[in-house]
Structure 1
Amino acid sequence: MSVLITGGLGHVGSWVAYHLAKQGKQVIICDMAANHFERLGLDYLEDVRDMLVLESIDVLDYHSMFELLLRHRDGLEGVIHGVSVIAGPYFQQHPYKHISINANGTLNVLEICRILGIEKVVNMSSGAVYGDAPGPQSEATPYNATDLYGASKIAGELYGQQYSDTFGMDVRNARLFFVYGPGKRPSHMHKVYQAMFGPLEGLDNIQAPNGSEQALDWTHVHDTATGIVKLFEKESVKHRNFNISSGVLIDHLKIVEHVADILGERHNVQLGPGPFVVRGAPLDISLAQQELGFVPKYTDIREGLQDYWQWLKANAG
């Protein structure tokens, strides 16, 4: 049996691909970066390379996506949809493009799966659907878009809900939150991420414009990927939406302190005033714990930071 993952070379998608391939499943990765896989530095995927099929296709290219899914339909258990432009200041600089990728890309996947009879779709959504509602936010917390990114994620979820109700599909939403860990270098991320995690990579003199007055539940990428795999593999679910995060609130300035403690020295990094993005936190993960058996490993972020540091050291340069 096989699984198709859109965005399967992204930070979270690549680890989902890894875990599924380790279980002996063939993983079809649909990602625009597939043509330069060797330059991505995803060392863990090299261990399962013979279980991967790489396809460089844009989710907004409906015709090519249709042909891809048609080609792999036989034996396909379902689709994990992970293509997304992440939240941050960059999102609103190109709103039409980014909303199209997040919302219309999801719609393309759902419509093609409907036509081809592929019933199971796990959509990588976001805790951004709750906006600034105070935490802990359960899956019963109403939608509340406080930015364009959140609106695009709400749209994707509503499309999935209607495709499930109208066509009998099994569309499930994994509501992810802020992710860190192996597979993504801080130097490739936004300034707030660089200021918090960058010293683990050797970055210094990072001045972020905001983020100091915020606490969020940052989740190690292994835990995020594990939750998504559990949601995909669950034979049947009573609910459609599941919060997948650490469920633990951590102040951003505490992360800076923990990184300094791990390294034994402080770097010249600074988070400016105010929040990075307008979000409430933490996510309530009790539903995923009860129904999926999801238990995050790195609830102590210091252990997660140590693991991240070890990966960055092993993949320096």
Structure 2
Amino acid sequence: MSSFSSHSNPDAFPSTPGKVKMERSNIYFGRGSTRWQSSVAKLFFWTVVVVGLIVIFFMRSSSPVETRRLLSTPHWGGHDWEKRVRYSCRVKTEKGIVVLVTGAAGFVGSHVSLALKRRGDGVLGLDNFNDYYDQSLKRARQGLLDKQGVFVVEGDINDAPLLKKLFDVVPFTHVMHLAAQAGVRYAMQNPNSYVHSNIAGLVTIFEICKSANPQPAIVWASSSSVYGLNSKVPFSESDRTDQPASLYAATKKAGEEIAHTYNHIYGLSITGLRFFTVYGPWGRPDMAYFFFTKDILQGKSIDVYQGLNKVDVARDFTYIDDIAKGCVAALDTAKKSTGSGGKKKGPAQLRIYNLGNTSPVSVPDLVNILERLLKVKAKKNIISMPSNGDVPFTHANVSLAHTELGYQPTTDLQTGLKKFVKWYLSYYGVPGRISKG
């Protein structure tokens, strides 16, 4: 049983903005190892890596100003700054760990950071506060973290000098790598951002960690999107993942291959987590449940997609509290890395897990729940799913995470959406009354 159960507090995560109440083996691709022998997987891996390197080279050679902008870090370094970093990383329990959380001002990152801090771990956040969605929401999450003693350093994960400085100041025992360019559809508008964050950024994190002494154990966010066009459900960790349906999925799949490489060569202990459609308070405005709520309240029509033959689109919606508990459990069960000074001393732990809810719900049912909670009838446009990389159905098999992490999702969609709506109305206000956005 995971040691998470002895530390967790189910009431350790944020629910409303006014009252900051906090609710709190080496089996990388299943049991077999033949995946790495697959010529298809190898061809896909090298194709993605080569394309990624080409794009990165193009970005750096043709757009030096843009590259400098992405890597620029406002105001870091100095005595006071280092003091804040160390203070944030203070451990308050005997068995506490010291964790660098990337993407800490993000949806999952803020919840995980608060969960760790509440139980007495040392936590330092890192976030570049990009403008993919409303930056004020990220700043509000940063405010929650600051009140709980978590310092969020503003910087990019590709800024190697900054990362090296952080490791010089604090000997992190763990890295929770959640920073990434999210979203399936946005990849069609800005593909370079996915290569920059999800491939180049991951490599930068691994490079710093492999050279650190001691090397930290790493837990990072992959995605259920890696299952791509698979028709077999529920999705299991041993299923094929060489049919990505979007660039986002391809970058996450490439990340899993890169993780295997750094584990094999440098002895980094690495755990990947495939999240399934995370939702809840303080969530991402680009997610359907979030902008459906906004549009329904404002009297705007919403587009409800259907798959082939008018089959309803369905998702394995997973509540944020369950995801955060799974993340903490992965940290608690992570074994130490085995390298030193960039050299591997022995085999290191390499794992991958699904974190889902195991109960897919159709999008029309999601809308029906929101209508009841908001007491407003939605204006629906039923349209065919566009060719933008989305898949029609996701369903997680979490038996492996249950066995090895003690992972047990407990929140159904009706309950989770009720909590989300309560937070949404408290944070943004009811249309026609007070509103923040």
TM-score, normalization by structure 2: 0.65
- Specify the code of the residue in structure 2 equivalent to 1:128: S
- Does residue 364 of structure 2 align to residue 253 of structure 1? yes
Asked if 1:204 corresponds to 2:299, the answer is: yes
Q: Quick check: 12-21 or 210-219, which moved more?
A: 210-219
Where do 1:9-158 residues align within 5 Å? 9-33=105-129, 40-42=139-141, 45-46=144-145, 49-73=147-171, 76-117=172-213, 118-134=215-231, 135-144=233-242, 145-158=244-257
CA displacement, residues 13-70 of structure 1 (integer Å, 9 cap, x when unaligned): 1101111011111210000139x88973338825x63431220110122222222232
Partner of 2:286: 189
* Secondary structure, aligned partner of 1:208: strand
Hey, what's the Cα distance between the residues in 2 that align with 1:271 and 1:293? 40
* Paired residues for 1:214-253 under 5 Å: 214-236=313-335, 240-253=351-364
Relative to structure 1, the CA distance from residue 294 to residue 155 in structure 2 (aligned partners, 3 Å threshold; closer, same or farther) is same
Equivalent residues of 1:216, 1:252 under 8 A apart: yes
SS of residue in 1 equivalent to 2:156: coil
1:272 Cα deviation (Å)?
2.7
Q: How many residues align?
A: 308
Contact 1:132 1:280 in 2 (8 A): no
Whether the 8 Å contact between 1:132 and 1:146 is mirrored in structure 2 is yes
Letter in 2 for 1:153: K
- What is the aligned counterpart of 2:419 among 286, 304, 307? 307
Unaligned regions of 5+ residues in structure 1, if any? none
State the secondary structure of the residue aligned to 2:259: helix
Counterpart of 1:174 in structure 2 is: 273
**Secondary structure at 2:235 match in 1:** coil
**CA 239–204 in structure 1, closer or farther in 2 if over 3 Å, else same:** farther
Counterpart selection for 2:406 from 288, 293, 296: 293
What do residues 189-240 of structure 1 show as CA deviations (whole Å, max 9, x unaligned)? 25x445544367x343143374673111011111111111111111449760
The residue number in structure 2 matching 1:282 is 395
**Counterpart Cα distance in 2 of 1:137 and 1:63:** 39
Partner amino acid for 1:305? L
Cross-structure match for 2:75: none
Equivalent position amino acid for 2:421 in 1: W
Q: 1:252 to 1:53 in 2, by over 3 A?
A: same
Q: Which amino acid aligns with 1:172?
A: T
Return closer, same or farther for 1:97/1:128 CA change in 2, 3 Å cut-off. Answer: same
3-state DSSP class of the match of 1:240? strand
For the residues of structure 1 that align with 2:395 and 2:264, how far apart are their CA atoms? Answer: 30
Structure exhibiting the larger radius of gyration computed from Cα positions = 2
Alpha-carbon separation, structure 2, partners of 1:71 and 1:265: 52
Give identity over the alignment, percent.
25
Deviation sequence 1:111-142 (CA, Å, 0-9, x none): 10000132300011101111121220100011
Task: Report deviation, 1:162.
Answer: 1.4
* Deviations 1:241-267, CA, capped at 9 Å, x for gaps: 000111211100100011112223313
**Cα distance in 2 between the residues matched to 1:81 and 1:273:** 35
Where 2:222 maps in the other structure, the secondary structure is strand
Q: Is the 8 A contact 1:6 1:31 kept in 2?
A: yes
Q: Output one character per residue of 1:243-294: Cα deviation in whole Å (capped at 9) or x when no partner.
A: 0111211100100011112223313244532277125420111111111011
Contact 1:5 1:81 in 2 (8 A): yes
Amino acid at match of 1:80: M
Q: Is the 8 A contact 1:195 1:206 kept in 2?
A: no
The farther-off stretch of 230-239 and 250-259 is 230-239
Residues 38 and 103 (structure 1), Cα distance of their counterparts in 2 relative to 1, 3 Å cut: closer
> Would the alpha carbon gap of residues 303 and 160 (structure 1) be closer, same or farther in structure 2, given more than 3 Å must change?
same
SS of 2:251 mapped into structure 1: helix
Q: Cα–Cα, structure 1 residues 193 and 306, in superposed 2: closer, same or farther, change >3 Å?
A: closer
**Range with bigger deviation, 141-150 or 276-285:** 276-285
Are the aligned partners of 2:99 and 2:175 in contact in 1 as well (CA < 8 Å)? Answer: yes
- C-alpha distance in 1 between matches for 2:410 and 2:315: 17
